[in-house]
């Protein structure tokens, strides 16, 4: 919206982020990404990890390995069905 000269404040019914997070990081998307409930995400993960199919398990463990060993790389994902 900023690139188009607009703001959320231009829309009366649109909620607007309040607080220091947006100002502190200067990026609403970044701020939203780091402000999540870790315990809630852990519970969701524990509930669903056993349902990963073989392809999902491979991707998951490759990403975890890359993060654990601070490897640089790119990961591409797609919605339902994935890439072949």
> Residues 49-74: pLDDT tens digits?
999 999 889 989 999 999 898 888 78
The most confident of 28-32, 71-75, 76-80, by mean pLDDT: 71-75
Distance of CA 21 to the CA centre of its chain: 16
Return d(Cα 76, Cα 82) in angstroms, integer.
Answer: 9
**Over the stretch 35-50, which tens digit does the pLDDT of each residue have?**
788 899 999 999 999 9
Q: Provide the residue ranges of all domains of the chain, joining segments of one domain with +.
A: 1-35, 37-84
Cα pseudo-dihedral 66, 63, 43, 49, rounded to 10:
-130
């Amino acid at each position: 919206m900023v690139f188009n000269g607009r703001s959320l404040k231009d829309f009366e019914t649109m909620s607007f982020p309040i607080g220091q997070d947006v100002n502190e990081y200067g990026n609403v998307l970044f701020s939203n990404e780091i402000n999540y409930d870790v315990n809630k995400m852990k519970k969701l993960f524990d509930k669903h990890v056993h349902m990963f199919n073989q392809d999902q398990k491979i991707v998951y463990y490759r990403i975890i390995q890359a993060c654990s060993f601070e490897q640089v790389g790119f990961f591409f994902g797609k919605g339902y069905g994935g890439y072949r």
